[in-house]
Amino acid sequence: MLVVVALGGNAFSRPGEPVSQEGHMRNVATAAQVVARIVKEGHRAVVTHGNGPQVGYFAELQKGREAFGLDALNAVTQGLLGYLIAQAIDKLLGAGMTAALVTRVEVDCRDPSAATPTKPIGPLYPEEAARELEARFGWRFAADPRGGWRRVVPSPTPVKVVEVDAIRRLVDAGFVVVAAGGGGVPICGGAGVEGVVDKDLTSSLLAVELGADLFMVLTDVDGIYLNYRRPGQRRLGVVAADELERYMSEGHFPPGSMGPKVRAVVDFVKRTGKRAAVGALEEGYEVFKGLRGTQVVP
């Protein structure tokens, strides 16, 4: 079985906590255990990851000077997280078993939503600090479901993973491949784009393109909830893609967090007729087995 495992950028580094290499290594180690266990059972795995906290961290270091665009910073985070993930998986499977690939993705640049800032990056700010950064650098901010404010940037829709053939060959050759980090570097008309693609949407696209048997999204919440943090909150166990799509149209899943995950798993299940799942990083193996998280079926 070929499994595409999408790891949440926020599960590596909680937006409320200071960014640190040790913190990343701890969370990456948890993810590596999940992947290694699956691979040791004879399955193949492609690992993708988010980069919201990390790309925001590097963008903030530039203090508005913008020496590098978001496309280049995205590649920075792919290298950084690709390195940490490859180290952690190799520790369990053997040196050289994991290959991390800088990945580009063609995006739909005529889509008007490509210019609308919806994708949260960087840390959580108190309202006052967010207002100051908005005034100084022209950054845009939106309220985060965790509380506080985060910078939001345009998030164009991914259309095709540029390196898909290279990824397929590496997988066929027996490597665990880390790819499409941070949703891939967005490319439009051959040039990099100032935005951050949602990693869930790119991961779903990649899973379809690779003919994956299972697409799983591991994050910092243990499944997809209806009425999240409202009266009548309920976690979905096993749900049909059509039913989940109906909940989506009823507005249960906000843009920039659970919205794209739901879109991504619904797309994968509808296009392939295979299973997808959303669950907590710590329960990753049980999510793979279909025992935990939200299991999305045809």
DSSP classification of residue 157:
P
- In the complex with ligand ADP, the residue whose CB is nearer, 108 or 220, is 220
Annotation says 119 is catalytic: yes
Residue of 79, 126, 145, 211 that binds ligand ADP (CB under 6 A): 145
Interface with ligand ADP, residue 11, by CB under 6 A: yes
Question: The dihedral of CA 63, 201, 184, 114: what is its sign?
Answer: negative
Annotation says 199 is catalytic: yes
Among residues 181, 183, 184, 199, the one annotated as catalytic is 199
Length of the chain: 298
Residue 184 in contact with residue 197, Cβ under 8 Å? yes
Interface with ligand ADP, residue 9, by CB under 6 A: yes
Interface with ligand ADP, residue 204, by CB under 6 A: no
Tell me the closest approach of the beta carbon of residue 52 to ligand ADP, in angstroms.
6
What backbone phi and psi angles, to 5 degrees, belong to 116?
-90, 125
Interface with ligand ADP, residue 181, by CB under 6 A: no
Interface with ligand ADP, residue 224, by CB under 6 A: yes
- Span from 99-107, 128-136, 181-189, 222-230 in contact with ligand ADP (CB under 6 A): 222-230
Cα-only R_g, the chain: 18
The residues pairing with 44 across neighbouring beta strands, listed in sequence order, are 2
Annotation says 261 is catalytic: yes
- Span from 23-31, 75-83, 122-130, 251-259 in contact with ligand ADP (CB under 6 A): 251-259
Residues in the interface with ligand ADP (CB under 6 A) total 19
Annotation says 10 is catalytic: yes
What backbone phi and psi angles, to 5 degrees, belong to 203?
-65, -40
Rounded to whole angstroms, the Cα distance separating 59 from 150 reads 13
- Beta strands at 185-188 and 104-107: parallel, antiparallel or unpaired: parallel
